[in-house]
Amino acid sequence: MPESVDTRFALYPGSFDPFTYGHLDILERALRLFERIEVTVAVNTGKEAGLFAPEERCELIRRCTHHMDGVSTTTFEGLLVDHARDQGAGVLLRGLRQVKDFDYEFRMAFANRKLHPDLETVFLMTSEQNAFVSSTIVRDVHRWGGDLSKFVPTPVAEALEAKREQS
């Protein structure tokens, strides 16, 4: 028996360390397709300690999306499909930037489908001008003191600047 899921409600999961214009671009596109989108920040992914703590990432996402109706932000720990079940979401939303993203994304989508067959993964493409923007590049530019205004929304740029002043 299929699980009851809401296909107008999408989860947008990721590390978001930090949230970039690429993420914002995907979210704006997705809002034309879904009624509700929960941006959900993964906690304890096994990656090394991030630039921002998960709660800080959430707060920054909230500040970047406060003008968008239907968007909420949470953290999740454990399996993404379990969080999707708890929330009743019917869709996982992932952004694609370039061909090399496909391999990782397909493996993740197939794993999630095995674990939760009624949850659909939907991929959206970023715009060309955001195709090169990634959190990894942002962290690198930040480390060497570069201008981040073209990569991240203002609240994130300000938080990165404050971090630089602290260190």
C-alpha 142/C-alpha 149 separation (Å) is 11
Binding mask 52-81 for ligand PNS (x = CB under 6 A): ---------------------------xx-
User: Of residues 95-114, which lie at the interface with ligand PNS (CB under 6 A)?
Assistant: 108, 111-112
> Among residues 9, 11, 14, 153, which is the contact residue for ligand PNS, using CB under 6 A?
14
Q: Mind telling me the catalytic residues? A: 23, 47, 97, 135
Binding flag, residue 13, ligand PNS (CB under 6 A): yes
Q: Are 42 and 76 in contact (CB under 8 A)?
A: yes
Among the listed ranges 10-18, 48-56, 119-127, 151-159, the one in contact with ligand PNS (CB under 6 A) is: 10-18
Among the listed ranges 11-19, 30-38, 50-58, 121-129, the one in contact with ligand PNS (CB under 6 A) is: 11-19
β-strand pairing of 71-77 with 89-96: unpaired
Query: Of the candidates 34, 47, 43, 45, which has an alpha carbon nearest to the alpha carbon of residue 122?
Result: 34
Shortest distance (Å) from residue 165 CB to ligand PNS: 27
Shortest distance (Å) from residue 148 CB to ligand PNS: 18
